[in-house]
């Protein structure tokens, strides 16, 4: 049984569109695996004690500061207790601060520290350098076409 092929609606195997859809599905699956592995390496370079989940929490905090932990959990689709664990790690690493929410004394607002902002800027530079290395042999037109198709694909996913 071919799990990848069986995940698409049944069609005649002579159908060219079906064949191409299987190729896309396999390529996206491989891209996901390779991206997760690359992210682990890059996150480890960012902070050896940080896990990808913690990095996702940090990026959410940076993008939405100040933010409540419950809002982080909702935005990332993860459990509040997992967010709490990651926030503790980030706080211990000096990457976030938490302050009382003036609108609700029971809640806290999480903000990124200056150290986190500097570290993320360097991280993004590392990521861009990695993409430059990966796409070095590509023609500019290929990069533009790939970017446009990837944006279209991402839009279709959402």
Question: pLDDT digit string (tens) for 67-116?
Answer: 999 999 999 999 999 999 999 999 999 999 999 989 888 889 999 999 99
Between 28 and 12, name the one with better pLDDT: 28
pTM: 0.73
pLDDT for 6 beyond 70: no
Mean per-residue pLDDT over the chain, rounded: 89
CA distance 45 to 39: 10
Contact 103, 80 (CB under 8 A): no
Could you give the percent of the chain with pLDDT greater than 70? Answer: 91
Helix (H, G, I), strand (E, B) or coil at 77: coil
What is the dihedral angle through the alpha carbons of 37, 42, 46, 51, rounded to the nearest 10 degrees? -10
**pLDDT at residue 1, as a whole number:** 45
pLDDT for 41 beyond 80: yes
Contact 52, 36 (CB under 8 A): yes
> Could you count the other beta carbons within 10 Å of the beta carbon of residue 98?
17
Pick one of 3.40.309.10, 3.90.226.30, 1.10.10.10, 2.30.40.10 as the CATH number of 47-157: 1.10.10.10
């Amino acid at each position: 049984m071919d799990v990848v092929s069986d995940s698409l609606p049944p069609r005649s195997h002579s159908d060219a569109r079906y064949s191409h859809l299987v190729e896309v599905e396999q390529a996206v699956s491989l891209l996901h695996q390779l991206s997760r592995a690359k992210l682990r390496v890059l996150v480890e370079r960012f902070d050896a004690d940080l896990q990808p989940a913690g990095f996702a929490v940090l990026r959410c905090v940076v993008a939405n500061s100040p933010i409540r932990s419950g809002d982080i959990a909702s935005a990332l689709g993860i459990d509040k207790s997992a967010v709490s664990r990651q926030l503790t790690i980030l706080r211990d690493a000096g990457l976030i601060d938490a302050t009382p929410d003036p609108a609700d004394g029971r809640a806290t607002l999480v903000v990124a520290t200056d150290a986190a902002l500097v570290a993320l800027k360097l991280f993004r530079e590392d990521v861009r350098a990695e993409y430059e290395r990966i796409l070095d042999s590509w023609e500019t037109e290929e990069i533009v076409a790939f970017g446009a198709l990837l944006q279209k694909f991402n839009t279709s996913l959402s």
